[in-house]
Structure 1
């Protein structure tokens, strides 16, 4: 579906747009709209209420229209799609978004508006500081899902946000439209925080309360499915944590360990490490090296496609020197080094008349030879893929 044109907020006197995504929320939509209207009337903020309807079939649209809210139909399914449809259609300088299930109090938005008026670009609600009513959040979400995912977000990105997934948040409309939000599902909540952080937007957090939603049906949120989508998004936007760091550790441990054991066995107390350990360490080096290659390829692909990921001056310099030809040449050199070792080993065996060999000594030399050839082939194939990724294309 073509993107809706952005309505310039500066041409409208509206200061605040309260945007609610809606998919069959007839049970709770009216109370949410009335609370939002009550806030606008009490505070004197010039605002509007936008219902981003994602295809409701329970009469939600009629309820919103009857109460004077503006209904924006959004055909593309998903939490993120509905919100972006509402944000694009909003006329306010500021936008406060919140779920239409009556779990957030739209009558108490002063902390958000105050921070936005003070110059913040994104103001996140924090349910853990403001209070979570009994039964409002499943224990799995309260004690595992939200804390773990928020911790991962702070670890992967330079963010101080303690509650990544609070559904009540406010922002400057123009700032959020600039950062290129693209996800369509529940991971939209993480994308807003991550891209705002990477873009250098001014972000703050205010306490907010969460109460049990007023619906009689189960929520749209699916714990494990949507939790994984959030985690997957965080990982994909940080290839250094997904591939680089684990791969570097595995590669160095495997490479150094197998190289040492290629020279001599190691005795650690009662434990002796020999060629069997060497084989496993070589396998670890191969897996680690593959992860390192994936880190490079993922970041190159992300840059080629215009994804927002953490940028590094060192990586930029490295990427400028990497090409299909240079990578393939390195791969050929590694492969030939391993092949030479294998040929020498074969020549020594042939000189002895192809007689019996000492298995331990043979394997001790065959492992590094095989490792070099495997690393060489991996490098060649990854360079070919890099060549495909780097092909310039015309974009409409």
Structure 2
């Protein structure tokens, strides 16, 4: 009795009505497997095609996997889960990627890399293959943000041709269903310390007569939103620190009197706005802390640091309540003193500027105190042990 040879490589293509180009892609992939001698298979992850794509794939010897859940990410995950290879190379079925030249990907995978990304900017982009909006704005900007938010060296976050160890990718918990799946693979692989490399690949104009499924602004926003949500540091912490420090320092300085910088004067009206900025910034800091603690509680993959862990260990319902009450009482004390001075004067007319100058820090401390207490309560909810089923 002979055992079937082990499949080393699965070439997975998501498909939704790709009858015009699917046969070309499959033939190129089959040609690569035959030429290279790699033991492989072609997996077509069909997402509900109605143009006969399934029959085309089956007639050419590919394996068709029906994926009911709609979306680019859903189709790919269905194909990856059904793949039998040690390695998976995924690519769009629109004939824009060259499935006949996968050697650079296979070489890096065999060398031990967990994820091998194609780079279209290094390999070459055929005229008309990528809209100017994507080539000069969308892809460079989103890739730059991805490298900024996460310690990644990848220059082309959204290349549709990429290879990976199947077991490594299945272990990182991919959850997105749409086009942001491309970013999720890179981000989570980076956060979990997988070995990642990048190889040049080419992009040519796709062979379809219809418009692509990609929607520039909608899908671009989904990519950006994903990058932001997985980096509370940039979404909440850094803006919060800037807003809180600028607002706090400015409002404290103006509590002692007007400030003039050249021809520009700042007084109580500026102090009011700066105190509002302080509250907004403090809210950002609290959101950063709560988001990371929630992510830790739920097992999400979000960057952590020793400094954060030290803060997280001290952030409890009790500590939040104590700090919050102290801040609130300090603000209330200023208000009580101010009221006492007014009462001693017989509740007569007051100087508006002097009154507001003290009332603003009093109100600010009370608001910060109340926010801290509420954040502490939320921390208490997060700390409740639960039994997972």
The whole-number CA distance in structure 1 between the counterparts of 2:217 and 2:381 is 35
Match of 1:100 among 86, 93, 100: 93
Q: Distance in 1 between matches of 2:22 and 2:377?
A: 54
Residue 15 (structure 1) aligns with? 8
Residue 91 in structure 1 maps to residue 49 in structure 2: no
1:318-329 alignment runs, 5 A limit: 318-329=311-322
Residue 181 (structure 2) pairs with residue 212 (structure 1): no
CA distance in 2, matches of 1:384, 1:74: 43
Match of 2:189 in 1: 196
Task: State the shift of 1:390 in Å.
Answer: 3.0
- Correspondence 1:120-139 to 2 at 5 A: 120-139=113-132
CA contact under 8 A between 1:20 and 1:50: conserved in structure 2? Answer: yes
Inter-partner Cα distance in structure 2 for 1:239 and 1:384 = 20
For the 8 Å contact 1:12–1:91, the answer to whether it is kept is no
Cα deviation, residue 389, structure 1:
2.9
58-67 or 245-254, which deviates more? 58-67
Return the alpha-carbon distance in structure 2 between the equivalents of residues 107 and 161 of structure 1: 23
Give the deviation of 1:74 after TM superposition. Answer: 1.2
Partner of 1:296: 289
CA separation in 1, counterparts of 2:136 and 2:378?
42
Counterparts of 2:324 and 2:59, CA distance in 1: 68
Alignment partners' CA distance in 1, 2:231 and 2:369:
26
TM superposition shift of 1:255: 0.3
Secondary structure of residue in 1 paired with 2:148? helix
Q: Counterpart of 2:65?
A: 72
Structural mapping, 1:149-160, within 5 Å: 149-160=142-153
Match of 1:315 among 298, 308, 314: 308
Q: Of 244, 248, 251, which residue of structure 2 is paired with 1:251? A: 244
TM-score by length of 1: 0.96
- Is 2:365 aligned against 1:380? no
- Contact kept, 8 Å, 1:12 with 1:92, in 2: the verdict is no
In structure 2, what is the Cα distance between the partners aligned to 1:267 and 1:198?
48
Aligned to 1:6: none
CA-CA distance at 1:218 after TM superposition: 1.1
Where do residues 270-285 of structure 1 align in structure 2 (5 Å cutoff)? 270-285=263-278
- Hey, what's the Cα distance between the residues in 2 that align with 1:90 and 1:226? 27
Structure 1 residue 130: deviation in Å? 0.6
Deviation per residue, 1:183-220 (Å, 9 max, x gap): 11111100111111111111111111111111111111
CA distance in 1 between counterparts of 2:275 and 2:255 reads: 10
Instruction: Name 2:299's counterpart in structure 1.
Output: 306
Aligned counterpart, 1:61: 54
Report the aligned-residue RMSD. Answer: 1.1
CA distance in 1, matches of 2:74, 2:290: 29
Give the Å deviation of 1:12: 6.4
Q: Does 1:168 align with 2:188?
A: no
Q: Distance in 1 between matches of 2:53 and 2:375?
A: 52
Structure 2 unaligned residues grouped into runs of 5+: none
Cα shift at 1:285 = 0.4
Task: Indicate the SS of the match to 1:353.
Answer: coil
- 1:150-184, CA deviations, whole angstroms, 9 ceiling, x for partnerless residues? 00000011100000000000011111111111111
SS in 1 for 2:255: helix
Aligned partners of 1:260, 1:160: CA distance in 2, in Å?
Answer: 43
1:245 match: secondary structure: helix
